[in-house]
Amino acid sequence: MGKEKDTKINHTVYNIEDVGQVQIADEVVAVIAGLAATEVEGVAKMSGNITNEIVSKLGMKKLSKGVKVTITGTQVDVTLNLVLSYGVSIPKTSQEVQDKVKSAIETMTGLTVSEVNIRIAGIQMDYE
């Protein structure tokens, strides 16, 4: 007999006006953050660690690539690893990403975003 793999999904639980509970998987919050970040002009792509890069090359691309989410109670901290397009203003683009990610998470989940940290992992050169 083989051992069954125990897969644990981290999630946040909170009550809504005594009607019931809402459970949000950490992965859902990470996907929201990643999608919101890539909608900002000047963000070329998300950058993951080496494991995420290998998984991506194997065709199992994850939407949360390059996103780390830490949820404590109803507070969320997000760290994004970004590759920006050459020529964009890093401070301006980073601020837009922070604003968009914070807004998307808070609007869609009801959680409070306390931090959105940006790590610039690289610059993408567009050659014609």
pLDDT digits (tens, 9 = 90+) for 90-100: 999 999 999 99
Region class of 52: left (phi > 0), else alpha (psi between -120 and 50), else beta = alpha
Residue 94 to residue 92: CA distance in whole angstroms: 5
Pick the CATH number of 23-122 from 3.30.70.1350, 3.40.50.720, 1.10.3720.10, 3.30.565.10: 3.30.70.1350
**pTM, two decimal places:** 0.78
Which tokens is 12 given?
């946040």
Q: What digits encode the pLDDT tens for the residues 71-85?
A: 998 899 999 999 999
